[in-house]
Structure formats: structure tokens, C-alpha cells
Chain A
């Protein structure tokens, strides 16, 4: 009975903290509920990323510029608690910790922000493990499942279908045809490289195909 009371009090305190952050105009936050704690955390991160993008787009002084968070561990906080038969994660970051940088991309990962502060290289001789892993898949369904898994594991920063990418040149692109065959992965950059062949390649060579873009953490 005592431990249930203590748990209830702790939950109440966490809820009060969450309400305080939500009422303050100083923070961007995401609040997610899911069947497992891991899913809730993953979803909260995805929602926070979306909120940061939307906020960045709406800020007049940030028009035309993207935003980065310098160090996610330092600036982003997370609270977890039960919610009925599910799990809740509340994640938030202070707006003043978001800075405008020319030719950068939205990121809440320190490694990704360092990569994105320069124009991405169009030729790379060594690919990150995540990229070679994804490039090894030949069928759409297992490839898509792997991307999801890598995202939850924190190895992929962001992924989306090509049509939803705001700055597609900063993403690796997995190309697949209408039969669900994975054809290749193209590197980021205005001039892309085919990860499988090592040669210069372009999206126009894959007319009629679909693509998923992803960034690497």
C-alpha cells in the first residue's frame, strides 16, 4: 500500500512537471503513448523531430535556414511514466538551444549536426555500416523493417519517403522498383554515388521507382 502511494505521488509530481513544461512557451515538446516503453520513446523522438521542423519553418527569422540542436544529451530531457495499460514518454527541448545555421539540416543528434554543417561529399570510399547493411537487402519488405529497427536502435536519424523529404540532397536514398526489388542505395549530395557500384549515379536513372531517404547518426 505504501509503495503504491509513493508511486502515485511520484507520478503526480512527474505530471506536474510535464504540465509546467507544456504551459511554458520556452519549450518544444512531444508526448507519446504506446504499448511498450521502447515504442513510446521512439515515437516521442519522431514527434519531437517533427515539431522542431514545424517550429523552425514557422519562425520568420529562420526562413530559409534550418536549425540544429548542438548536443541532444545536454539539451533534451525525457520523462517516462505509465498511462493506463500503456507507457508514456514526454520529451522536450528548450527553444533557446536551437540555433540557425546556413545550409544545415534539422537534427537532434550531435554527430549528425557535425556532418550536416558542410555540403555533403558526393564521393565516399568507405560507407557507414548502416548504409552497407541496408544496401545488402534485395527485397522491399525486409529492407523497410530493417530501417525501422535501425531507427529505434538510434543508428538512423530520420527516414521518410522521397516525396516527403524537404532537402532530399542530404539523405541516402534506397531505390526500389514496383515489384518490390531493392535496386541500390544512392549517397547524399547534388551528385550522388551508387553505393553498390561506387560509380556516379543519378535519381533520373530510376524513373518509375520509389525511394526512401534516410540519414545516419
Chain B
């Protein structure tokens, strides 16, 4: 098991303004450096992602997760992705690993950007969870300006490379959303009076499969506060290069509550 650390910048987060706090996949890959509030719980009930691959393969992923503010500026996240790979001739589905991560914001943004570190462990659980444990170390930075907010993410994953010739293993690893490394940036604009955040990102990643080429992706999305406890998000993106070029869509909602 490998621990992963993330460095990120922390900004203010209100209990009723969760729309302002992005997290990986909700809706974009690049996240901000703001953890869930201390004693807060964020339940991502049924976030869905759909990838339209080149060879008429559809990749569905359901990514339920719970994030808990276990300490000041520190969150624990547990997720169990469920994947369904619908290829022209075959299909497979099942749990695609168990992810446990810890994010710790080092500071709150001042004239110094908000910085955070995160560690993530992907355990080989379920039929699409693969045979190996991976660990990821991640650094996050957020800078807020009056007109926009910028985020930078960089991460490295330790663990064996997989063979891209093995379709089952490849599907499993796709299910776990693994990259050898990933670096990206995002920008978001908040419409405070409407509780709406619009965001866009671009990132590069080296797939965990051996011999795969670097993939560039770009995406855009939004987060919207429906009610004090409910937030919804949606995004659309495109993997422009690499071996698995695809369009993808994400949609999800989260429910905020607190520890008693």
C-alpha cells in the first residue's frame, strides 16, 4: 500500500456554499486546495461519468464517495467506484477498487496561495479493481483573484505499470482512473449571488499502461448550489491525444451534513 500526499491551497468554505469547493471529478479532474470543513461530511451519492471511446466503447463509471472533515484543514475521503465497460463485442462491470485519501491544507490563502498535500491509496477491490495497490502523492495550489480563481495540481502514482495489451487489466485500471503522473491547471469564475461556479481545465497525464503516450485533456463544467445542503455538478471534456481519445460527460450531486 502506498500513501499519497497532496499539496494544496485552502480557501474559505461555507457550510452552505459547497458549490465553491471542487473535488476531483466533481466536475473536473483538477481540484482546489480547500478541504471539507472540520466536522463536515460531504456525500457524493451517485456521481456518474460516461466516456465515449473511439472504437464504439462506452465506459460508464459510478463513483460514490464520502468526504469527512476529520481534523481542522484535513479531510478523509473514501470512494468505491463501480465501472461498466460496454465494448462492441464484450462487456464487463463491477467494483473498480477502493480509494482512500487524505488531504491536508497547509494554510489558508493570504498573500501566499493556499497550499495542500494529499495522499491517495487505491486498493485492489472488486472485479475491476486490478491486482495491485497504487499510491498517489499530490500537490495542490489555489490562487484567488477578484475576477477568477486558479488551481494547479501535480501528482505522481507509485505502483507497477500495466500492459496495454491486456484489455481486462486495462479496463480495470481505467476503472480506477490511474495515471503515472498528472499535471494540470483549472480556472473558475464564481457568480456569488447565484451560487454558481463555472470552471475549465487542461491537464496532461501519463497513463499507467506501459508504452502509452501522454494524453492531453480539456474540460469545462459547473457547480450549482441547489439548497443549503445540496449541490449539483456537471461537466464535459475531451481527451485530445493519447491512446484512449474520448469525449466524456460527468454529472453528480452532493449532500452536506455534519458530525454530531
Is A bound to B?
A: no
